[in-house]
Amino acid sequence: MAAPSASLLRLAATGARRSGLRRGVALAGLALAAAAMVLVQREGAAGADVQDASALALEVERALQAQAGPLVPGNLYAQLELQLQRHPDDVRALVLKARLDMEAQRVELAAAGYEKALGLPNSKAVRDPDVWAEYAEAVGMQQGGTLAGRPMELVDKALALDPRHATALDLAGSAAWEAKDFAGAAAHWKRLLERLPGGTARHGELTAAIRAAEQRARLALPAARKP
């Protein structure tokens, strides 16, 4: 079986595997397939996730090639647009295009793409916690960087599907911090920390964030009792 293009494998495998928007860590550019594999392993994903991502990438690549010819990385967005003109309910193409929109900071288009992909009848996307977490990020960015309200509802949907989902836990911790629920932030981030390999920069950053949250939780005034 031929390997999928690096661009599609990157998008299929790592759509939501990035730090929460509150930490302001942007997605890397389209990487080589090997780099995509390393990123998945670094975030603690199982080998099955990589296989599923490769299968998804190959499936989408075949569909795009059938419609628009050989894939050229620089033309991937245009080819996805063409695919969606011909097949507007193609969930896979909707999600991959939304991921490209997120990388390019086109958050309105990204949010609309995720919303459509999740709202289609019998959509497989509703069973994918990555898509819910990515949608939450897009809506949060639409709201100016806050995760309160609708974004957190979407994060909860991701966690309902996978309580250990890395991006959803990161976002949930960020939302709790934003709401001054520092104990809650520490709890979410501790669950995320369990998934990260020790000795990495990400592990160190998250450990420091947990300490800061716990310190603030200790200093926080207790909630006033209702009369």
Q: What is the pLDDT of residue 220?
A: 73
Alpha carbon of 43 to those of 59, 84, 130: distances in Å?
24, 31, 13
Q: Are 6 and 73 in contact (CB under 8 A)?
A: yes
Q: What is the CATH topology of the domain spanning 6-219?
A: 1.25.40
- Cα–Cα dist 219/227, whole Å: 24
Q: What is the pLDDT of residue 103?
A: 86
Q: What is the pLDDT of residue 77?
A: 86
Q: What is the pLDDT of residue 61?
A: 52
| 16, two tokens | 């939501």
Task: List the chain residues with pLDDT less than 70.
Answer: 1-74, 221-227
Residue in 93, 9, 10, 5 with CA at minimum distance from that of residue 54: 9
Domain borders along the chain are 6-219
Q: Are 223 and 217 in contact (CB under 8 A)?
A: no
Exposure of 201 by Cβ count < 10 A (0-12 exposed, 13-18 middle, 19+ buried)?
exposed
